[in-house]
Structure 1
Amino acid sequence: MTALATRKDIMIVNMGPHHPSMHGVLRLILTLDGENVIDYRPILGYLHIVIMLELSRIASHLLWRGPFTANIGAQTPFFYIFRERELIYDLFKAATGMQMMHNYFRIGGIAADLPHG
């Protein structure tokens, strides 16, 4: 019989982050017995994923805006917008090694992040 099986009021909860500037930096998966913490699992480093998603979103908006301005007759903004989009793709390439199909790999996958029960 495991230690968890002998407890009665077991709860597994996510805790953190509590401040907007800490978005995604630290997440704790706590196992509680009433008010007592009997186990915890820290998960670090989600901030880089959030930043990549936001930059990807900005790049997508630029991809829409550039051709739109060209379609309404403003050719010059088209070139400036695509230059800025390429700067974002340069950041992706520096971070992941790929410019267009950028991705991070998580050893073990999503299933490794879920609490086992």
Structure 2
Amino acid sequence: MAHERIRITSAWGEVTAELNDHAAGRALLPMLPLTIEMRDHLRQEKTGNLPGSLPEVERQRDFARGTLGLWGPDHFVIYYRGGRVPSPGIIELGRLTGDVGIFDRPGPVEVRTERLP
């Protein structure tokens, strides 16, 4: 997998992400395109469920603004602020580019996630 990119669109705007080259990043691609209902969590992230689990890979506790992550095996996360999560941490799926601040507002949002050519 060489620099696979995805687009995430919502009524609030659009961002792109470059996925990490590991088993979880590769397993996300066949699920796309995908619409995910996301909700705000702790005023730092939007979270929603994938239709299936992704493989377990190395986790980390720190995250930065623009991290695309996985909390549980099917728990998709867009971090619009930086911070730290408790153990066991998150799987970093990739990094967002564009105005991640579009997600920095309260309330739910529906996102469409698709592979870029």
Question: What TM-score do the two structures reach when normalised by structure 1?
Answer: 0.23
Larger strand proportion of the pair: 2
Higher-RCO chain (CA-CA 8 Å, sequence separation at least 6): 2
Q: Report which of the two structures shows the higher radius of gyration computed on alpha carbons.
A: 1
Larger helix proportion of the pair: 1
